[in-house]
Structure 1
Amino acid sequence: MSTVPAIPVAPVAKPKKHFIGTPAPSGYVAGVGRGATGFTTRSDIGPARDATDVSDDRHAPPNKRSKKKDEEEEEEEDLNDSNYDEFSGYGGSLFNKDPYDKDDEEADEIYHQIDVRMDEKRKDYREIKLKAQLEKYRQERPKIQQQFSDLRRALSSVSEDEWLSIPEVGDARNKKQRNPKSEKFTPLPDSVLARNLGGESVTTIDPSSGMASAFPGGLTPSGDLDLRKIGQARNTLMSVKLNQVSDSVSGQTVVDPKGYLTDLQQFGAGTYGGDINDIKKARLLLKSVRETNPNHPGAWVASARLEEVTGKVQTARNLIMKGCEVNPNSEDLWLEAARLQPPDLAKAIIAQAVRHIPTSVRVWAKAADLELETKAKKKVFRKALEHIPNSVRLWKSAIELEEPDNAKILLGRAVECCPASVELWLALARLESYENARKVLNKARQNIPTDRGIWITAAKLEEAQGNHQMVDKIIERAISSLSSNGVELNRDQWLTDAIECDKAQSYMTCRAIIKCMIGHGLEDEERKELWLEDAENCSQKGAIECARAIYTHALSVFPTKKNIWKQAASFEKQHGDRESLETLLQKAVSHCPQSEVLWLMGAKSKWLAGDVPAARSILAIAFQANPNSEEIWLAAVKLESENNEYVRSRKLLAKARASAPTPRVWVKSVKLEWCLDCISTALDLLDEGLKAFPDCAKLWMMKGQILEEGKKLDEARDTYLAGTKKCGDSIPLWILMSRIEERRGLLTKARSTLDKARLKNPKNDKLWLESIRIEIRAGLKDIAEPMLAKALQECPTSGPLWAEAIFVEGKAQRKTKSVDALKKCEHDPHVLLAVSKLFWSERKLNKCREWFNRALKIEPDLGDTWAYFYKFELLHGTEQTQSEVVKRCLLAEPHYGENWCAINKDIKNWKRKTDEILTMVANSLPIPT
């Protein structure tokens, strides 16, 4: 293989700088271009410089600078921030050399006021714009605390064991923490233990032998190993070290182990957890108060309690006894001393207190409390009453310990000693017979003529004996007597007494008080409203007779007011029986014959009781009082149809269509024929009804539904289309039209139908909800979610939309969404129902039941809530809770709800009762997940 010889390459010559090797120009200073000007000394500017030297502009005096350089300096601008002006820049204003006079100041002030005024005008706009920008920014970029708010709320339910089981967070960069290795333990050899049994003490290590010198005795693996001796040696060594620390150490005293805790107790460190310095300051302050004013009992009590709190009970006892010596007439000191002493010594102290202050009720009561036997207590109280016969407290305490016979005797003596005590008079009256009780109450009225309780008790006594006529007289006399004695009659206090009489089952007294005092102090214009409010309040408090008496009195004053009759009838329906309701309604229709509701309530009561002829007769009388009344016509039709009298129902409807033609009458006529499966007759009636009432949306919907049932989808769609043209504001009609398009498989057509409906009916949550559900049913959740967000922007307080939004979210975000929904519409029943279902899905059964009850309290007419609640009780409740839900639902008679109406308004279920509908709806509902 031939080799090519290497060709030598000559090095490339670097260009040479032109100034290298040439002399420096005159006046050149090295580094001046970089700012390195060096130092200036006296020799640079003094006489040491020769006059023939080349001048240096750096150090030339100002008068020798060149004219050119002076001009450059004058032209150079000062770019400092302090020289900057907002209007004139760095150069300064053209007029900054002129004087600043009052005119300039006034002009500046006027301009400043103008600026402030303009700023105030734009302030609201700026704040609104800034708030909108912040809200938009927070919606796009929520804070971390908002993103994890649901997790933070869940922390409140974490138990202590779960907190303790949370693992420690290590440093991810630390390899040892990420991959921990198991610790290795090497057992100590027996030879090491054996070496320490020699008993020799080694304090130094021999350099020649190294560590072997620390274990004298050599290796004795075959020797006996006594572990007990090792423990003894360890204890001995520890005691020696402790003695060395506690004995002779420079600057230290010997520690007394027994006296150490005693010394701590003098500062109160045994039981008090506060600062010892605070205790010292309090002691000094209280000592100063005691010395300055030893006759002040509060200082002694405070000092004793301070010592008690700090654990020095004996010191506290000594202090309080010294205070008792200084102030023997202070019952507070004696009672405090008795409290601090043991029971045996406390009796002796109370005995001393009784000798010093025998008229102290509290001291005698304490003496009785210290006795353990009832006999001894009675003896103490009787001794006390000898010294203080006018003490009501002692009489009451003594009477409580006696038997009824002895109590009567004591009460007789008590009212003599304390004639102004109403309680003692009333207690004596309760123990006496009827005749003696009347005498006692008469004496009580003579001694205390200003108390209304005695009069009320007298009325109760007469009512208990069956003297009902005397009750009204006693209450009337009470009012006149109290007024003559200058007592101010308070209406609210008398109503409270009436409620108490109602709860005590003294109904006649309650009615008498209501009759005499319900209108006291009221103007004629405000009586009706206040009486209805009082009746409702009494009903809420459980005073049924009070409420009934108020309604009775109000109807006696205003017999022609329909509103009062309706409320009274509703009250009797809820709290009374059927007979009282029918009696009230008979009176009502006699005073208000033009009130259709009262007639219908009476007819319904008879019908529910099974008396159909009586119901017919009531409706016949109602026809005479209210001819051509739509409500009465339809009530008669319903009565006949519910009792399978279809021929009579058809005749009544025909008469109604002839005499009182209304859209509702046509709707009921069509519905009856539809329910009886007379489809052709129903369609004929629909055609006639639509000619007479083309703007009745229900007729269009019924015709479309009948055609839809007959599989005539095209005709049903045309019917709905014609209905939307005539009734463009009917939301259910638009929804039915979109659903039939969806049923025909035309999803795009269904969307466009709802879009057109939203254009004609903007901000309607039902249309938005149907649009969202169409996308969900089609499996297009990615389209449904932004549409839901847009719907919430247009209808921010819509409960159905927020309820839908909660379950559209994933499980992790549902709780946060529910919180937002409750903020927007707190009292909406749909949101409360959704929250209940959310708790149900999380298996929080107690909270779920609580929220169901809350939703039903706000809106009992929503059938979906009843159905979900009943299904919940079927799965997780008892038979009692299930029957209670059914009972409450029957009383509420719900009418609304998407799932409820779907089954309740089905023609197949037109004769089913409310409890049957409830069961059917509950069975059709899914379990929330």
Structure 2
Amino acid sequence: MASKNKDRLAFLTMPAPASYVAGLGRGASGFTTRSDIGPARDGPSAEAIAEAQARRGEEAEYDPDAFQDPESETGLFAGTIYEADDEEADQIFARVDGAMESRRKARREAREAKERQKARVDRPKIQEQFSDLKRGLSAVTDEEWGNLPEVGNLTKRRKVRETRSYVVPDSILVGDRNKLGHESSLSAQQQIVDKAGDITDFVELGNARDKVLSLRLDQASGAASGLSTSINPKDYLTDLNSVSVKSEAEIGDIKKARMLFDSMVKSNPKYAQGWIAAACVEEHAGRMVAARKLINAGCQQCPKSEEIWLEAARLHKNDDAKVILANAVNSLQQSVKIWLRAADLEADPNVKKRVLRKALDSIPHSVRLWKEAINLETSASDARLLLARAVEIIPQSVELWLALAKLGSSEHAKGVLNKARKAVPTSHEIWIAAAHLIEHEAQQNASHGSPGETIDRTILAAVRELRKHGVSFSRDQWITEAENSDDLSMPLTCEAIVKSTISMDVEPEDRIPTWLGDLESLQLKKRLTAARAVAAFMLKVFPNRVDVWEKAIELEGASSSSEALFEKAVGYCPQAEVFWLRWAKKKWLDGNVPGARQILEQAFLANPESENIWLAAVKLEAENGEQDVARALLIRAREVANTSRIWMKAAVFERQQGRPQEALAILQTALAKFPTFSKLYMIQGQIHENLGDHVASRASFTAGLKSCPKDPRLWILASRLEEKDGKSIKARSLLEKARLMIPGDETLWAEAVLVEERSNTFVSAKSVLARALQACPSSCHLWAISVWRESRPTRKSRAADAMSKSGKHPLVLCTVARLFWAERKIEKARDWFHRAVQAALEDSLDLGDIWAWWLRFEREYGTETRQQEVVSACIAAAPRHGEVWQPIAKALGNEAKSTADILNLVVDALDDR
């Protein structure tokens, strides 16, 4: 039995198979130890592990290296050579991958941007919802901020009410009663008897108190002189105002500062700033005697400090300060400030002169002392003698040389400036002063001739000499000197400086932008002479530049010299139509019609196919009553230039002359030549409408909409025709179709609102207006309409929203002015009308309706002078557009009327609105 058990357990002593893993059958395939495999024994192979896993029904583990990318140069292609075609293939694949990635990125970014935009519209941030109100806070003034009430505790706290009551003891009640009582007699203890047996007389005590008080008041009133026995109420109140009452904290700070500075002056008595600070502390505390003692001690300890002597003189009275400064002069004879302070203390001019002359004996090289001494002289000869002596002692002072040159005659000034140039060859002021002297002589003596060449040579010599002596005087500094000469009304010197120095340190390729920048900067600074000099120099260098000629003509304005500029401009730039037209217009406005014709004839020779010149000639003849000549010119222009605008003007001319059939014939030919020119269809439809032929007018507008579907004016005219014919539904339909064809056009939305209002459907008008503001959130026209469609209490808030949304457009500003006008706030309304026209001029918007509203306002509340000012400003602005202005200006019979006449007609039309 024992042998049987022994045989059964014999496997425990047997060696394990080669592929045996302890616990492999139970799933512990990876659990092996060094004792299991032995010191030189490998673990199970991959095949053995796979076989064991297969017996258990497990799937084989994924080997990441089984399908490794061959680009890693391992595995199958590990031993191959990376050749040029491999590199080319890699580059091609990389480009394809990059292109695909960029395309996916663009699509992804577009999709994300669209999602963000949609989310921002659907769920705007609270910050965006209140952005208008936040921007409005910038207009709140400091006074309005200060008037805001303090925010208290608005939380609804539960108030705890005391319900318990206590009985007050009788002792408290009796004590309070005694506090409120008054006694009119003295007790026995209070009646103190003196040695003589008399009772104390309180009346005498009161009189003594009054006497002491009066003595103190006398001392206060006579503090300055010590002799006054009466009180000056004004001075006394002034003294009381000068008394500063110190708080406990301030007194404590003064005590700390006094201790610190006392320690400083004791530890370092030679430090002058410590004595000055200590004296200032006492002065702030109101202890002038202590301050003077401290500063006097500081003067003894620091006799070589200039600041401490000046501070001592400030703290003392006038007489004492003179003594202190006399002692200071003994210690510091070379201090200019002390000598000047001593001279300031003297009231007599002669004494001041003596002090300054003593100072000059001690400090002869001080320019400031010489200037102060010269300023005290009342005689020009004495001042000249002092200046002559000053320039001998200080030959490097440019100020003294220039002052000496101003005091003499012209010949004397020339001699002085020549000596100054030799003494100070590095000074540009002396050269410029010489140029000013030459120009001044020419201005005083008209027969002297033109000094321009002499001044040019003087400035050129100045530039040359400064370079010779190594003076780095930059180009910008020379331009600044030219501006100074312009301010001094020395135009020749200004031009000479510009001509001689404007090319300094400028590269050839940078000349045009640099010089144009200088010209615009000078123009903004109102230095017109310097700007003209820059323009003249540029025209010499670049005579064929049209933009430079335009700047030069703009600078000349309406002066007589502009004629010569126009003549030179058309000579150098004959193809520039703008110069011919502006020159002819100037001649016409001056009343010289033959001269204007002659200029236009020359323009025809230089620009035979220019439609602007042809139309200008037609306008000149038509407005001067030469209708046949104008018609002949238009016929010739259609043959030579043959442009759509000339054909349109020809039809308009015949229409204005009362010949509609001829105008229709011209339009028929023009439409065959230019079928996509929308204005031809408009004019044709309007002529048929005026003739009462609505069918032909509708056909013209329909043809125009087919050829020019993107022109909103055609849609509006077609809609108004239908509305005039009593077909409001058709008008609405046309405008709906137009908005689909031209989305986001504010004029179409505004017309739709007006159509609803003219049809008396105000609810629909309000709905259309709301949709319009959503489609065009920044439309000034729509916002101006929406303000007046609000109820009276909400118009101001609506106007504020309109200004924030439209960027303070002139139309919105005009609407705000009309709001103030309706509230009878006259000055505010006038101010806002002025803002509106200024904004229109700055933005180059020639809106005539704003001027008409302003004139209507002035007719109601202004004077004739104000009305004339508005009319004059409107004529100068020459507006041509506007919702009411343009139809009236283009109406039949108004083509020859002036701006003032059109303005009056528009004002009358506004009265009916």
Whether contact under 8 Å (2:813, 2:832) holds in the other structure is no
Partner in structure 2 of residue 909 of structure 1 = 894
Aligned equivalent of 1:340, options 309, 315, 329: 315
Aligned equivalent of 2:403, options 409, 413, 427: 427
- Residue 318 of structure 2 aligns with an amino acid whose one-letter code is P
Count of residues paired in the alignment: 730
Name the CA shift for 1:157/1:289 in 2 (closer, same or farther; >3 Å). closer
SS class of match (1:701) = helix
- Residue 571 of structure 1 aligns with an amino acid whose one-letter code is L
Cα distance in 2, alignment partners of residues 850 and 233 from structure 1? 76
Equivalent residues in 2 for 1:835-874 (5 A)?
Answer: 835-841=816-822, 843=825, 844-845=828-829, 847-848=831-832, 851-852=835-836, 853-859=838-844, 861-874=846-859
- Whether 1:802 and 2:802 are equivalent positions in the alignment is no
Name the CA shift for 1:285/1:866 in 2 (closer, same or farther; >3 Å). farther
- Residue 509 of structure 1 aligns with an amino acid whose one-letter code is T
Instruction: Please give the per-residue CA displacement for 1:849-901, whole angstroms capped at 9, x wherever unaligned.
Output: 55233443233533333334444555555666555544443343223222321
Cα distance in 2, alignment partners of residues 483 and 544 from structure 1? 29
Name the CA shift for 1:153/1:582 in 2 (closer, same or farther; >3 Å). closer
Cα distance in 2, alignment partners of residues 232 and 410 from structure 1? 84
Alpha-carbon distance, 1:925 to partner: 3.6
Partner in structure 2 of residue 671 of structure 1 = 652
Instruction: Please give the per-residue CA displacement for 1:753-805, whole angstroms capped at 9, x wherever unaligned.
Output: 11111111122222222223333444444444443343333333333333334
Aligned equivalent of 1:382, options 340, 357, 365: 357
Whether contact under 8 Å (2:426, 2:466) holds in the other structure is yes
SS class of match (2:471) = coil
Whether contact under 8 Å (1:686, 1:703) holds in the other structure is yes
- Residue 643 of structure 1 aligns with an amino acid whose one-letter code is N
Partner in structure 2 of residue 739 of structure 1 = 720
Alpha-carbon distance, 1:916 to partner: 2.8
- RMSD of aligned residue pairs (Cα, Å): 4.1
Cα distance in 2, alignment partners of residues 605 and 152 from structure 1? 47
Cα distance in 1, alignment partners of residues 753 and 717 from structure 2? 15
Whether contact under 8 Å (2:818, 2:829) holds in the other structure is no
Alpha-carbon distance, 1:734 to partner: 1.0
- Whether 1:611 and 2:592 are equivalent positions in the alignment is yes
Deviating more after overlay: 759-768 vs 301-310: 301-310
Cα distance in 2, alignment partners of residues 273 and 683 from structure 1? 99
- Whether 1:494 and 2:494 are equivalent positions in the alignment is no
Alpha-carbon distance, 1:303 to partner: 2.4
Aligned equivalent of 2:439, options 442, 463, 468: 463
Instruction: Please give the per-residue CA displacement for 1:7-44, whole angstroms capped at 9, x wherever unaligned.
Output: xxxxxxxxxxxxxxxxxxxxxxxxxxxxxxxxxxxxxx
Alpha-carbon distance, 1:169 to partner: 13
- Residue 796 of structure 1 aligns with an amino acid whose one-letter code is P
- Whether 1:661 and 2:661 are equivalent positions in the alignment is no
Partner in structure 2 of residue 685 of structure 1 = 666
Whether contact under 8 Å (1:343, 1:370) holds in the other structure is yes
- Whether 1:523 and 2:511 are equivalent positions in the alignment is no
Cα distance in 2, alignment partners of residues 653 and 449 from structure 1? 69
- Whether 1:764 and 2:745 are equivalent positions in the alignment is yes
Cα distance in 2, alignment partners of residues 849 and 273 from structure 1? 58
- Residue 337 of structure 1 aligns with an amino acid whose one-letter code is A
Partner in structure 2 of residue 361 of structure 1 = 336
- Residue 751 of structure 2 aligns with an amino acid whose one-letter code is E
Deviating more after overlay: 815-824 vs 663-672: 815-824
Partner in structure 2 of residue 297 of structure 1 = 272
Alpha-carbon distance, 1:532 to partner: 2.2
- Residue 605 of structure 1 aligns with an amino acid whose one-letter code is K
- Residue 372 of structure 2 aligns with an amino acid whose one-letter code is S
Whether contact under 8 Å (2:840, 2:847) holds in the other structure is no
Equivalent residues in 2 for 1:879-918 (5 A)?
Answer: 882-918=867-903
Equivalent residues in 2 for 1:590-629 (5 A)?
Answer: 590-629=571-610
What are the ranges of 5 or more consecutive residues in structure 2 without an aligned counterpart? Answer: 1-106, 159-169, 191-211, 214-239, 443-450
Cα distance in 1, alignment partners of residues 861 and 467 from structure 2? 61
Partner in structure 1 of residue 368 of structure 2 = 393
Cα distance in 2, alignment partners of residues 488 and 708 from structure 1? 76
Instruction: Please give the per-residue CA displacement for 1:183-209, whole angstroms capped at 9, x wherever unaligned.
Output: xxxxxxxxxxxxxxxxxxxxxx99xxx
Cα distance in 2, alignment partners of residues 924 and 271 from structure 1? 73
Equivalent residues in 2 for 1:157-168 (5 A)?
Answer: none
Alpha-carbon distance, 1:811 to partner: 4.5
Instruction: Please give the per-residue CA displacement for 1:692-741, whole angstroms capped at 9, x wherever unaligned.
Output: 22222111111222233334344323322221111111111111122222
- Residue 763 of structure 1 aligns with an amino acid whose one-letter code is G
Name the CA shift for 1:334/1:855 in 2 (closer, same or farther; >3 Å). farther
Alpha-carbon distance, 1:434 to partner: 0.9
- Whether 1:413 and 2:394 are equivalent positions in the alignment is no
- Residue 368 of structure 2 aligns with an amino acid whose one-letter code is R
SS class of match (1:909) = coil
SS class of match (1:622) = helix
Alpha-carbon distance, 1:487 to partner: 1.2
Cα distance in 1, alignment partners of residues 912 and 328 from structure 2? 74
Cα distance in 2, alignment partners of residues 436 and 313 from structure 1? 55
Alpha-carbon distance, 1:136 to partner: 4.8
Cα distance in 2, alignment partners of residues 515 and 634 from structure 1? 41
Cα distance in 2, alignment partners of residues 620 and 142 from structure 1? 62
Whether contact under 8 Å (1:686, 1:699) holds in the other structure is yes
Cα distance in 1, alignment partners of residues 863 and 315 from structure 2? 55
Whether contact under 8 Å (1:839, 1:847) holds in the other structure is no
What are the ranges of 5 or more consecutive residues in structure 1 without an aligned counterpart? Answer: 1-120, 175-204, 216-229, 241-256, 259-264
Aligned equivalent of 2:530, options 546, 567, 570: 546
Cα distance in 2, alignment partners of residues 474 and 682 from structure 1? 68
- Whether 1:703 and 2:687 are equivalent positions in the alignment is no
Name the CA shift for 1:348/1:839 in 2 (closer, same or farther; >3 Å). farther
Instruction: Please give the per-residue CA displacement for 1:640-681, whole angstroms capped at 9, x wherever unaligned.
Output: 001010010011111112222211111111111222222222
Name the CA shift for 1:835/1:524 in 2 (closer, same or farther; >3 Å). farther
Name the CA shift for 1:674/1:846 in 2 (closer, same or farther; >3 Å). closer
Name the CA shift for 1:378/1:810 in 2 (closer, same or farther; >3 Å). farther
Name the CA shift for 1:536/1:123 in 2 (closer, same or farther; >3 Å). closer
Cα distance in 1, alignment partners of residues 383 and 849 from structure 2? 62
Name the CA shift for 1:601/1:131 in 2 (closer, same or farther; >3 Å). closer
Partner in structure 2 of residue 652 of structure 1 = 633
- Whether 1:558 and 2:539 are equivalent positions in the alignment is no
Partner in structure 1 of residue 755 of structure 2 = 774
Whether contact under 8 Å (2:852, 2:907) holds in the other structure is yes
- Residue 297 of structure 2 aligns with an amino acid whose one-letter code is K
Whether contact under 8 Å (1:270, 1:311) holds in the other structure is no
Cα distance in 1, alignment partners of residues 714 and 324 from structure 2? 92
Cα distance in 2, alignment partners of residues 509 and 153 from structure 1? 47
- Whether 1:316 and 2:291 are equivalent positions in the alignment is yes
Name the CA shift for 1:382/1:874 in 2 (closer, same or farther; >3 Å). farther
Alpha-carbon distance, 1:371 to partner: 2.3
Instruction: Please give the per-residue CA displacement for 1:368-423, whole angstroms capped at 9, x wherever unaligned.
Output: 22222333333322222222221111222222222223222221122222222211
Higher relative contact order structure (alpha carbons within 8 Å, sequence separation ≥ 6): 1
Whether contact under 8 Å (1:836, 1:851) holds in the other structure is no
Alpha-carbon distance, 1:231 to partner: 13
- Whether 1:514 and 2:498 are equivalent positions in the alignment is yes
- Percent identity, aligned pairs only, is 41
Cα distance in 2, alignment partners of residues 352 and 849 from structure 1? 70
Alpha-carbon distance, 1:915 to partner: 2.9
